Amino acid sequence: MKSVITVFLLALLILPRANASEVESYTYSRSHGSSGTLWSTGDIDFDIEDGSIIMTQRGRHKSRIEITEDYKLYVDGELIETTPEQEKLVAECYTTSMELVEKAKEIGLEGAKIGLIGAGIGLKAVGGVLKAIFTEYEFEDLEAELDDQTEELQERADELEERAEVIEDLAADLEDVFDEMVYEIPELADWEDAWDDNNDGT
């Protein structure tokens, strides 16, 4: 009985959120013409514009980095000539950023699915409670039906949490690549402390 009431209460919390999850849009894409804010890290905004990664520093420098799909590097609109080694770093920064976005998109969509499944279980719980009240249907029967479904839902949520850890690893990799790229390319000198400043909250 306790778990039935718990699911019933969860349903009241989940249902208002289900529609929002269903219509949530993702504009991140590798395709030409795509756009959308990836994330902000204090002073730095990461965006996608027409397939390019855009990094904008809003702090004291107000600078802008653009990395195109073919790994061309622009700083404040000026094309930067890079050595083969520098271009490898630029390419790695681009591909890691895009991979991070794709993983985040996948997790977001899976999270929306889990939310909708939870809403479905909640609706079933509501119907089951009413059925038990007005018919000979027993709460114990409803509880048995819901247990398996809620257990499966929890397993999917646990898997989603594990996948989210992959994003944390990718973000750490991106920070390392970004720092190395800034160190190796003189034109990015103004960005040397940008990420550290963000992490320190200054």
Contacts of 3 (CB under 8 A, 6+ apart): 143, 146, 147, 150
Asked if residue 39 belongs to a domain, the reply is: no
pTM over 0.75: no
The whole domain housing 174 covers: 2-23+82-195
The number of folded domains in the chain is 1
Asked if residue 100 belongs to a domain, the reply is: yes
pLDDT tens figures, 62-118: 789 999 999 999 999 999 999 999 999 999 999 998 888 888 777 776 766 776 666
Asked if residue 126 belongs to a domain, the reply is: yes
Cα of 117 vs its chain's centroid, Å: 20
Asked if residue 92 belongs to a domain, the reply is: yes
Run of H or E including 39: strand 35-40
pLDDT for the residue 7: 40
Among 37-41, 123-127, 147-151, top mean pLDDT goes to: 147-151
SS3 of residue 193 by DSSP: coil
Asked if residue 202 belongs to a domain, the reply is: no
pLDDT at 28 over 50: no
The pairs formed by 141-150 with CB atoms below 8 angstroms and a separation of 24 or more are 142/4, 143/1, 143/3, 143/4, 146/3, 146/4, 146/7, 146/121, 147/3, 149/121, 149/124, 150/3, 150/7, 150/121
pLDDT for the residue 184: 95
pLDDT tens figures, 136-176: 666 666 666 666 667 777 777 777 677 777 777 888 888 89
Strands of the 44-49 sheet, one edge to the other: 35-40, 44-49, 52-57, 64-67, 73-75, 78-80
Asked if residue 7 belongs to a domain, the reply is: yes
